Amino acid sequence: MLTDIMLFLERLPGIFKGAGELGIIYAVLALGVFISFRTLNTPDLTVDGSFVLGTAASAVLAATGHPYLSLIAAFLMGSMAGCVTSLLNTKLGIQPLLSGILVMLGLYSVNLRVMGGRPNIPISRDSTIFSIPLLEPLGDYKELALSLIILVIILALLSLFLNTRFGYVLRATGDNEGMVRAAGVNTDVTKLCGLAISNGLVALSGAMIAQYQGFSDIGMGTGMVVIGLSSVIIGEVVFGSKPLIRRLTAVALGSVLYRLIISIAFEIGMPPTDLKLVSAVIVAIALSASKIGGGLAKIKKKFTTGEDGGALNA
């Protein structure tokens, strides 16, 4: 027993490093999901497809010797996927959730095409964003450092963007669409831009993951929405949500925390195959937290004062 604990403690730094790396890269995805889920107030299922689109674009382009360019290409391709979802919704009147599902489904074929018909392509270690000579002195920490730099740049750009005149109306669209139209803004445009940026970030995250892990696989996207949502919710609950810059940072930290929880769960014996179930349960609990919380408060009140908890609603 004691030796078990000793062994676990010894592995802890490695667990933290691995979770940190993954958490930081997935934080980009979480920020993308934040934009659709929080600022536009629609859970967007395109994510599962646009994530793989990012991994595919990155794998193909990195092989031609342009790993950095591949990040930009991935962002743009993800944005296009987001645009299609938004247009299906705003121009053809298909429900937001269904629009996302349709694009996700279509992207499966698109992604296979991008990958030249193969379900899995490897990426050479010598041709990734992490393999440039500039990063050599960092040794084992180069993945962590580079991912962190990219994340900080994105956080900065995003918080600047959301505080512009356009950013304001984008954020208000999810809150109160009617009010945004009453302020003279075409909400079709704000939704389009929102989903474009959201899926662009998701694809960018996919591109970085592919280069970090050394391959792109057609099945990598399953459940990415849920992972993004977990990070958003965990982040906001643990690290706070006011003001906006803190909220964005919290979402990024939420992603790292989520990875850490998952890694430790693996360490203490959770089978990797249970990962998706655990993620789904976490999100279900988090989304119902306010309801469960309210219910608990009611019960508590009933027991402590002997009165009906209904007064809480007053």
Among 153, 179, 281, 296, binds another protein (CB under 8 A): 179
186 binds another protein (CB under 8 A): yes
200 binds another protein (CB under 8 A): no
Among 185, 224, 225, 262, binds another protein (CB under 8 A): 185
Shortest Cβ distance from residue 182 to another protein (Å)?
5
Whole-number Å distance between alpha carbons of 145 and 152: 11
191 binds another protein (CB under 8 A): no
DSSP three-state, residue 223? coil
Whole-number Å distance between alpha carbons of 240 and 313: 24
Give the residue with the Cβ less far from another protein, 164 or 222: 164
314 binds another protein (CB under 8 A): no
172 binds another protein (CB under 8 A): yes
Whole-number Å distance between alpha carbons of 181 and 214: 46
Among 64, 120, 176, 305, binds another protein (CB under 8 A): 176
Q: Say if residues 218 and 120 touch (Cβ distance below 8 Å).
A: yes
117 binds another protein (CB under 8 A): no
Q: Which of 224, 218, 280, 290 has the alpha carbon at shortest distance from 255?
A: 224
Give the residue with the Cβ less far from another protein, 98 or 183: 183
308 binds another protein (CB under 8 A): no
- The one-letter code for the residue type at 132 is I
180 binds another protein (CB under 8 A): yes
272 binds another protein (CB under 8 A): no
Q: Which of 108, 116, 94 has the alpha carbon at shortest distance from 42?
A: 94
Q: How far is CA 73 from CA 18, 115, 194, in A?
A: 26, 14, 18
Shortest Cβ distance from residue 169 to another protein (Å)?
5
109 binds another protein (CB under 8 A): no
Pairing state between β 120-122 and 215-217: antiparallel
DSSP three-state, residue 21? helix
- Per CB under 8 A, the segment of 113-121, 144-152, 184-192, 300-308 that binds another protein is 184-192
Whole-number Å distance between alpha carbons of 137 and 228: 32
- Per CB under 8 A, the segment of 81-89, 104-112, 176-184, 282-290 that binds another protein is 176-184
Among 30, 56, 169, 252, binds another protein (CB under 8 A): 169
Whole-number Å distance between alpha carbons of 13 and 260: 11
Site string for another protein, 136-165 (x = CB under 8 A): -------------------------x-xxx
Per rule CB under 8 A, count of chain residues that contact another protein: 23
CA atoms within 13 A on the CB side of 258: 36
Among 133, 137, 139, 184, binds another protein (CB under 8 A): 184
290 binds another protein (CB under 8 A): no
Give kind and range of the element (H or E) at residue 299.
Answer: helix 289-305
Whole-number Å distance between alpha carbons of 139 and 25: 18
Among 108, 130, 141, 166, binds another protein (CB under 8 A): 166
Q: How far is CA 50 from CA 74, 92, 98, 132, 190, in A?
A: 9, 21, 15, 27, 20
Which chain residues interact with another protein by CB under 8 A? 161, 163-169, 171-172, 174-176, 178-187
